[in-house]
Amino acid sequence: MIKVKIDTKEIFHVISLNETELTANMSEELAQIIAKLQKEDERSLVIDLKNVVKIAPEVIPVFMTLHNTTYQSRKSLVFCELQSGVKPIMVEGNDPELLNFTPTESEAWDIVQMEEIERELDFEN
């Protein structure tokens, strides 16, 4: 079973992975945890990968699906604290314009808040 810590903030959840390796099976399990969490309390997501030093390329399609479903719900998804062995796989495995990456959790919070404001302004027009 994948080890995660979930910290709920005002408009988003921070999901910290307490694993050093993220495999395809683990990413599916993570997606299920997030789906259950979103069903109970739909918020934007920050996924903190600071503990993950190795990631399977098969994880990327799961993250892309998660991204699509999150944004279809008018919420944000940001990945932060990518380690040097993880970042190339995350970047090479997707359209770099699609997934949001930040060096720190604080910057991820900023993106979530900015996108929330953009959605509110877009909704008003």
3-class secondary structure, 43? coil
| 47 half-sphere exposure, CB direction, 13 A CA radius | 25
Residue 97 is predicted with a pLDDT of 67
Q: Structure pTM?
A: 0.91
Structural domain that includes position 53: 4-124
Residue 52's pLDDT band, with cuts at 50, 70 and 90, is very high
Distance CA 53, CA 116 (A): 30
Distance CA 114, CA 36 (A): 25
Residue 95 is predicted with a pLDDT of 63
Give the pLDDT confidence of 64-108 residue by residue, as tens digits. Answer: 999 999 999 999 999 999 999 998 888 876 665 688 999 999 999
Both structure tokens of 87:
């970042």
Distance CA 91, CA 101 (A): 9
Both structure tokens of 21:
């390796």
**pLDDT mean across residues, the chain:** 90
Q: What's 52's domain CATH number?
A: 3.30.750.24
Query: Does the structure show a pLDDT above 60 at 42?
Result: yes
- Cβ neighbors of 109 (< 8 A, separation 6 or more) are 9, 12, 46
Task: Please count the structural domains in the chain.
Answer: 1
